């Protein structure tokens, strides 16, 4: 059943260099979508690899075969277990009365009660500045803040908590590396290589620093099947002997493809042994086990708000040797050893890079997020999301007129899918999905160069996390089919 009511058409300005989309350009009416069906219990997904298409199934091989139908009710899924920890999901949208289906976790995850409570408990019980006082509250705050650093270090298997630098977010962490190591080490003739799929946060800082230092910024493209960056092309660039830094994403926030880090590290060792590797791990650390000791990279960055933590906090991991070699970035309190009127000496890492009063409550809450995910088990998180992501991909691909970007069925992919509907703008699609209670994201997702590469102005993106269910994917697809049908009706198709 459909009933029309007024809605505003929201269209993005086309990206320069991309042909305009063929979306509608006039006002539209909204649909009344059917209510979400009751959630089904569908079996716990455990182990390293699960038979895709049914998150209740368990296998231990690398098989990625999937059934095409929605999973049948069985036991309880990981999502069924954790959803009570996320009270924000238990709400209906005020305009439509539809139950919220949150599929925008690649932009920011929801927060469990334990994280919210840890943040509030700090301000209720322990609030004081850290590292600067001998009184009781300052000691409690300092202990909690530094305990959070240990939790983050353990979460990524760092050798020491001294390898963890708290930052406001991953963008600041990349800028920290760019304006310390980059400015100190890059010079004319050197090259920084990135890929066409990078988030702007891992592109713009290198543009600025290369312009400042005279180094050259290069990029590599994608494999023909969109299953990741073209590592053969990267190897050709490395063989030229000019690369001083490789900066790229561990998992793409649009394509969902996973980088073969081992091969990149192997090529670096063979062709550019003096080069450094920075890994943007914002879309990997929340979703899979990440072991910095085995990655053979020099830095990783991540954001707290994508891994059940609060906004305003992220971290940089760097090996102790590399961090020690980096000069200070911001000056101020905390980052000094001794200060004289004409000079200063600086604290060792990580304090050297944490000038001023830090985001204490946010860091403590990030530590609580690490505790929460660790208690679930990152192997289990990855296994469940592997299944759910496969089901999401297949479900969207089954809709006529829908193009899903990224790797196909036989390649690893994250639990997200960027897609477009033929002749419709992504903003139009996501607007009507929102009226059905389904929260997705439209736009370029901070990857304008990638969208130009794909020759599209924008994409819609659905991204799942531990609290999402296969039933919610079904709700998304049903709402998408109704959206497409609505536009066909008003277009006279």
Residue 462's nearest CA partner among 284, 288, 253, 304 is 253
**Roughly what angle, to the nearest 10 degrees, separates helices 170-177 and 204-213?**
20
d(CA 234, CA 244): 13
57 vs 43: CA distance, rounded Å: 7
Tokens representing 311 are 């906004």
State the first-to-last Cα distance of the chain, in angstroms, to the nearest integer: 18
Among residues 257, 308, 370, 446, the one annotated as catalytic is 446
Residues 168 and 304 sit within 8 Å (Cβ to Cβ): no
Q: Would you call 443 helix, strand, or coil by DSSP? A: strand
Residues 6 or more apart whose Cβ sits within 8 Å of residue 100: 88, 89, 91, 92, 93, 437, 439
Using CA atoms, how far apart are residues 216 and 192, in angstroms rounded to an integer? 6
Q: Which residue has the tokens 């590797």?
A: 277
The closest of 218, 114, 101, 162 to 465, measured between CA atoms, is: 101
Neighbours of 405 (CB within 10 A): 20
Q: How far is the C-alpha of 106 from the C-alpha of 114, rounded, in Å?
A: 21
Six token digits for residue 377: 């088990």
CB 148 within 8 A of CB 159: no
* Residue 446 annotated as catalytic: yes
As a whole number of angstroms, the distance between CA 70 and CA 478 comes to: 12
Please give the positions annotated as active site.
446
């Amino acid at each position: 059943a459909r009933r029309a009511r007024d809605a505003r058409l929201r269209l993005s300005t086309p990206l320069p260099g991309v042909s305009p989309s063929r979306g509608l350009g006039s006002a539209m009416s909204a649909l009344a979508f059917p209510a979400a069906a009751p959630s089904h219990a569908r079996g716990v997904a455990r182990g390293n690899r699960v038979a895709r298409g049914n998150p209740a199934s368990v296998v231990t091989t690398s098989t990625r075969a999937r059934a095409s139908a929605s999973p049948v009710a069985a036991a309880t899924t990981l999502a069924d277990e954790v959803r009570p920890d996320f009270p924000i999901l238990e709400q209906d949208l005020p305009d439509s009365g539809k139950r919220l289906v949150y599929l925008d976790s690649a932009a920011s995850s929801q927060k469990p009660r334990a994280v919210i409570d840890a943040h509030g408990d700090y301000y209720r019980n322990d609030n004081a500045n850290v590292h600067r006082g001998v009184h009781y509250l300052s000691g409690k705050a300092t202990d909690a803040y530094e305990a959070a650093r240990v939790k983050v270090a353990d979460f990524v298997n760092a050798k020491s908590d001294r390898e963890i630098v708290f930052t406001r977010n991953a963008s600041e962490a990349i800028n920290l590396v760019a304006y310390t190591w980059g400015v100190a080490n890059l010079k004319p003739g050197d090259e920084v290589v990135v890929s066409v799929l990078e988030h702007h946060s891992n592109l713009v800082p290198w543009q600025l620093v290369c312009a400042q230092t005279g180094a050259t910024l290069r990029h590599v493209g994608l494999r023909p099947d969109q299953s990741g960056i073209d590592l053969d092309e990267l190897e050709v660039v490395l063989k030229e002997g000019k690369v001083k830094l490789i900066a790229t994403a561990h998992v793409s926030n649009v394509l969902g493809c996973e980088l073969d880090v081992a091969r990149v590290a192997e090529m670096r060792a063979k062709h550019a042994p003096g080069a450094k590797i920075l890994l943007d791990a914002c879309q990997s650390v929340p979703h899979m086990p990440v072991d910095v000791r085995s990655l053979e990279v020099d830095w990783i960055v991540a954001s707290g708000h994508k891994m059940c933590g609060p906004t305003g906090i992220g971290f940089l991991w760097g090996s102790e040797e590399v961090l020690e070699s980096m000069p200070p970035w911001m000056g101020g309190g905390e980052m000094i050893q001794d200060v004289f009127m004409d000079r200063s000496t600086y604290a060792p890492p990580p304090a050297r890079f944490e000038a001023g009063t830090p985001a204490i409550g946010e860091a403590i809450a990030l530590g609580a997020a690490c505790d929460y995910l660790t208690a679930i088990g990152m192997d289990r998180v990855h296994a469940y999301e592997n299944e759910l992501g496969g089901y999401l991909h297949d479900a969207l691909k089954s809709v006529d007129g829908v193009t899903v970007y990224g790797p196909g069925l036989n390649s690893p992919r994250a639990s997200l899918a960027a897609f477009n509907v033929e002749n419709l703008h992504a903003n139009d699609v996501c607007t009507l999905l929102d009226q059905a209670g389904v929260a997705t994201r439209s736009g370029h997702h901070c990857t304008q160069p990638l969208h130009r590469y794909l020759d599209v102005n924008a994409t819609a993106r659905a991204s799942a996390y531990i609290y999402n269910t296969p039933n919610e994917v079904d709700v998304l697809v049903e709402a998408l089919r109704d959206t497409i049908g609505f536009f066909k009706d008003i277009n006279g198709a």
